[in-house]
Amino acid sequence: MYWRSLRVMAGLLVFISIFFYPLSSGIQPRSFINDKTPSPPPVVVKQPALNESPPGEAGKESREAPVHPGKPLPPPPPGQALAVEPSPADTSQLIKQVDIQGKVGLSFDDGPYSEMTGQYLKALQKCNVRATFFMIGQRIRLYPGEARKVIELGSEIGSHSWRHARLDKLEREEIAKDLRSVAQQVYESLGDEIGLFRPPYGRYSENVIEVARELNQQVVLWNVDPRDWENPPPEEIVSRVLSQVKPGSIIILHEGRKNTLQALPEMIQKLRERGLEPVPVSELLDREEALPAAAGADGP
């Protein structure tokens, strides 16, 4: 009896230890616990794909947005074309007007435009006028035929940067790459070299001026701005030009603007009535002494 009792007690102890050990350790055996509360879902750590951008890089703007043939490029943002006064830098390379009588420089920015560049050229041709077209490199690549018409009809092409960026905010190497890209595109598409450069928005820095000088490109600003990018009526564009213009002035206009196109014949006629013949910018620079921007040319 004694040994039998010991065996029964030992068996009870073993049973109790097996039953209560999972409860004390936090483990709930399925065979004994009828708990309908669902277990929390497992934590899954997502591994980034091989081509996934690292954090902070997604959506980052490319420094050189690709140009797709046949896809129109939007015009540069309006309201920023300001020939600002220079920061401390050598301004001998900056030209706003020229010391010459009887002539004014006529220039157009932001082209070429499909079809519209040709319409500008027809309007100039009817008036027997040539001009300077400061063109964007990406647009020349997209519309080389329109740019070629400019040269064929006796006008000239200057650089207006590769993608109309704020060059004054870029490092020297990036500025040089931008200007060289335009020069290479012009040479490949037209067989010409670039000698004139107009920085987008008229914004520049010491690096911009130095790079242009190294590439033998004259920096051309302006002192007559009718702000035609605001799309005022054609007669208002003419009035604004006449209120600012002087002998040797450089007039800035923009391609891709119907009101500007309509204003051209009357503007040219009114300039001639004042004894001012519109000519390409290089013709002003070749004939007489250019006045640097620091000389206090009027205009913005």
Q: Indicate if the alpha-carbon torsion angle 117, 114, 199, 245 is positive or negative.
A: positive
Q: What is each CA distance from 8 to 5, 18, 60, 188, in whole angstroms? A: 5, 16, 77, 103
Q: Which two tokens stand for residue 213?
A: 């000088």
**Nearest residue to 285 (alpha-carbon basis) of 192, 197, 203, 220:** 220
| Segment 268-297 mean pLDDT | 76
Q: Tens digits of per-residue pLDDT, 53-99?
A: 332 333 333 333 333 334 455 566 554 444 444 444 455 679 999 99
H or E stretch covering 278: strand 277-279
Average pLDDT, the chain: 77
Question: How confident is residue 185, by pLDDT bands cut at 50, 70 and 90?
Answer: very high
Question: Would the CA dihedral through 226, 231, 237, 243 be positive or negative?
Answer: negative
pLDDT tens for each residue of 136-152: 999 999 999 999 999 99
Q: Which residue has the higher pLDDT, 247 or 74?
A: 247
Burial group, residue 231, by CB count within 10 angstroms (0-12, 13-18, 19+):
middle
Are 150 and 156 in contact by the 8 Å Cβ rule? The answer is yes
Q: pLDDT: is 2 or 31 the higher one?
A: 2
Q: Given the structure tokens 């959506």, which residue do they identify? A: 59
Find the distance separating the first CA and the last CA of the chain, reported in whole Å. Answer: 118
Residue with tokens 């006629």: 269
* Window from 16-25, 47-56, 130-139 with minimum mean pLDDT: 47-56
Structural domains of the chain, ranges and CATH numbers in brackets:
94-295 (3.20.20.370)
Is the whole model's pTM more than 0.75, yes or no?
A: no
What's the confidence (pLDDT) of residue 34? 37
C-alpha to C-alpha distance for 246 and 274, rounded to whole angstroms: 10
What is the mean pLDDT of the segment spanning 175-185?
97
Mean pLDDT of 109-138: 97
Extended beta strands in 190-276, E state: 196-197, 218-220, 250-254
Cβ-contact 179, 161 below 8 angstroms: yes
